[in-house]
Amino acid sequence: MGICVVGLNYKSALIEIREQLAFSREEIKSVLCNWSDYFADNEVVLLSTCNRTEIYISESGDGLPDTGQVIGYLLKQKSASQPVSRDVSLFLPHVFLLEGLSAVEHLFSVASSLESMLLGEAQIATQVKSAYQIALEAGTVGTAFNRLFQAALKTAKQVTNETDIHKHRVSLPSIAVVDFALQIFERLEDKKILVFGAGEMGRETLQYLCDYGAKNITIANRSIDKAEQLAVEFGGRVADWGNRFDLMVNADLIVAATGASDFVVTFSDFRKVEIRRGNRVLFVLDLAVPRDFDPLIGGLSNVYLYSIDDLQEACARNRAGREREVPKANQIVLRNAQDFIRWLNGRPSGVVIQKLREQLEGLKNKEIERLFNKLSDLDEREKSEIIYSFERFIGKVLHLPLSSLRDESQNGEPNKLLTALAHLFRLDND
């Protein structure tokens, strides 16, 4: 059985490309549920975050699907909810394909935040777990991917516990606040903070803003309930989403982190707001993918607009302080990935070994029954000794050939021995 991952991330594609293949939770479930209508019955998990969209696929009887077909399928599914380019050739230069051990290593590295824009960031393990759970709900996870994603999450926990990758943890919101917002505003106590969205990214950014003194906070979100929960947590106010442009007139700092599929503030929208603002400085952290603010707004005077990609330089500085822990973390990832591949390669041999043991167990039981019928005066101790001797004999006879079979399986080439063993004992006729 083979495994591959097809995807793109912040290393391979700019945000303009990534946002066209960014999927919400509902869209992910639809992609997975519709998969079998276009491809074979693979095990499939789709991971979509701010910085990556990656689809993990198991091999079926028809092999692994073509990369172009996978991207074409994702674009077709995405186009059902919003207009995106259907030209696969525009995306293929930014797409990577990894197979086998490389695919498993990649997943384990992603879950352990070794592939994150910000090394050691906390959210990615939760996002991997969420992607796995959505696939469970969609019914696209079987034995192999259950084990694969559980192993990935276990690896992430091991990296956290055994290295200093996550010590003094710094997230994208913390960099946005400390390295960007505080360079524009020396203090936040007197600034009017406006938050669009009430998800985890907005919540975490608010936490850092409040840590640095922010007090005047207004939250606008399409779901009033979520906005109210966030307002209670941070002592803010809730405003109607439809009034967001009026709210922008007096804002000093805006955090935009909605799940919208298109701009929530277009250039023309902002031009109307700008007239009412006068010459006051506005700082905007657009942490959404797809982006919430039209990037053209950043070209206006007195507007400081930063998207996730603008945080990369600061992330690189942060990463340098943690690089010394990467080799240790990579060793954990590689060791666990190799263990998984050995298990995966050993699955066919496990079936054959089980069949052989069942066959020999049946023969043993028949011979013991025949012997006990012939020797009717045996007591229970003598019978137990005979049964034990049969079992020891079978175990010793099988030990070396089964050890060889397991060794070959772990090296990824068990087929010849498996075929010979199955044919020799006629196991393939069961």
Given a cut of 80, whether residue 71 has pLDDT beyond it is: yes
Given a cut of 60, whether residue 348 has pLDDT beyond it is: no
Q: According to the model, what pLDDT value does residue 124 have? A: 92
The SS3 call for residue 95 is: coil
For residues 319-333, average pLDDT? 87
Given a cut of 70, whether residue 411 has pLDDT beyond it is: no
Q: What domains, with CATH codes, occur in the chain?
A: 3-168 (3.30.460.30), 172-314 (3.40.50.720), 343-429 (no CATH)
Residue 72: enclosing H or E segment and its boundaries? helix 67-78
At a CB cut-off of 8 Å and minimum separation 6, what does 13 contact? 91, 94
Q: According to the model, what pLDDT value does residue 1 have? A: 66
Query: Which residue type does 322 have?
Result: R
At a CB cut-off of 8 Å and minimum separation 6, what does 220 contact? 194, 195, 196, 227, 238, 239, 240, 241, 243, 244, 247
For residues 18-47, average pLDDT? 92
Both tokens assigned to 157: 């926990």
| Cis, bond preceding 290 (omega within 30 deg of 0) | yes
pTM of the model: 0.66
Q: Which of 4, 50, 210, 315 is catalytic?
A: 50
Smallest Cα–Cα separation from 151: which of 356, 402, 332, 387?
Answer: 332
Report residue 80's pLDDT band, with 50, 70 and 90 as the boundaries: confident
112: phi then psi, degrees, rounded to nearest 5: -90, 5
282-307: per-residue pLDDT in tens?
999 999 989 999 999 999 989 999 99
111-156: per-residue pLDDT in tens?
999 998 878 877 899 999 999 999 999 999 999 999 999 999 999 9
Distance, in Å, from the CA atom of 400 to the CA atom of 418, rounded to the nearest integer, reads 14
For residues 10-29, average pLDDT? 92
- For every residue of 43-75, DSSP letters joined together read -EEEEE-SSEEEEEEE-BTTBSPPHHHHHHHHH
Q: What are the beta bridge partners of residue 304? A: 283
Specify whether 50 is catalytic: yes
Cα separation values, 282 from 179, 250, 279, Å: 16, 9, 9
Q: Which residue has the higher pLDDT, 150 or 420?
A: 150
Rg (CA), the chain: 29
